[in-house]
Amino acid sequence: MTFLLFLPAGIVFAAFFLVPLGQLFLIGGSGTEGWAAYGAILANRNYLSSLVSTTALSAAVTAATLLISGTTGVFLTRNRFPGRAALVAMLTFPLAFPGVVIGFMVIMLGGRQGLVVDLLEGLTGERLVFAYTMTGLFVGYVYFSIPRTILTVMASAEKLDPRIEEAARSLGAGPLRVVLDVIVPGLKPALFSAGAICFATSMGAFGTAFTLATRINVLPVTIYGVFTEQANIATAAALSFVLGVLTWAVLAVARTASGSTVAAAG
């Protein structure tokens, strides 16, 4: 009986996800290069450089986001003050913004009429429009990663025992030692899983890059170009299949790893 209840979702999921994904895999190997298309991401100089720059960007975004969200998340969990709830609400507000809108937010900050561009001009006298470059993409990805990372960090920080920090302090540990030796290890599972989500979404995100410039050399934009401009469907299929497997693997590894850490700790 209960099996029957799952049937409608199962049929839809199989017909519109599992079968198409299998089809994508087959088409990826059906081009002029055959199955070698799956090696193209490493063999072709363009695709490889695109993969490298996407990975570097995602790593930088992950590091910056964890630093920013970790600091503010722990601060907001440890301190109670008037207006705190409003700050939490503001920090988590852009949670479900689509990538295109985030791209536009970056244009508001770093575009030709951008606020930060104006401010920097006042300081340095130089007009640096950064929105349509890799820097703009970095800013955008940090923007969309902050809200969800803060939520994860705060949920985890609430479970940390402040008495351990007190103990470390009373034993003479400075603030930096407390952060590095007590708080960061305590948050490790949360930071690990939030970081993995951040990394995987930065690898696969498309809307922000699409808004900012279609010439930024990141993998989803490259795939889109192969698909529409070169109409090379087989290669586009192979590349997107590889990208899909890559992001999914990062998330799967992070889930099992952080899961086992939690189990070991508890």
Cβ atoms of residues 133 and 92 within 8 Å: no
Tokens 């902050």 map to which residue? 146
CB atoms closer than 10 angstroms to residue 189: 22
54 binds another protein per the rule CB under 8 A: no
CA distance 93 to 187: 23
Cβ atoms of residues 144 and 95 within 8 Å: no
113 binds another protein per the rule CB under 8 A: yes
21 binds another protein per the rule CB under 8 A: yes
95 binds another protein per the rule CB under 8 A: yes
End-to-end Cα distance, the chain: 37
123 binds another protein per the rule CB under 8 A: no
φ and ψ at residue 109, rounded to 5 degrees: -85, -45
223 binds another protein per the rule CB under 8 A: yes
Binding to another protein (CB under 8 A): which residues in 140-199?
143-148, 151-152, 155, 175, 193, 196-197
User: Which span sits near another protein by CB under 8 A: 44-52, 70-78, 160-168, 180-188?
Assistant: 70-78
Q: From the list 208, 218, 232, 235, which residue makes contact with another protein (rule: CB under 8 A)?
A: 208
DSSP label at 54?
Answer: H
Amino acid letter at 196? Answer: A
User: Which span sits near another protein by CB under 8 A: 15-23, 31-39, 55-63, 163-171?
Assistant: 15-23
User: Which span sits near another protein by CB under 8 A: 36-44, 55-63, 180-188, 237-245?
Assistant: 237-245
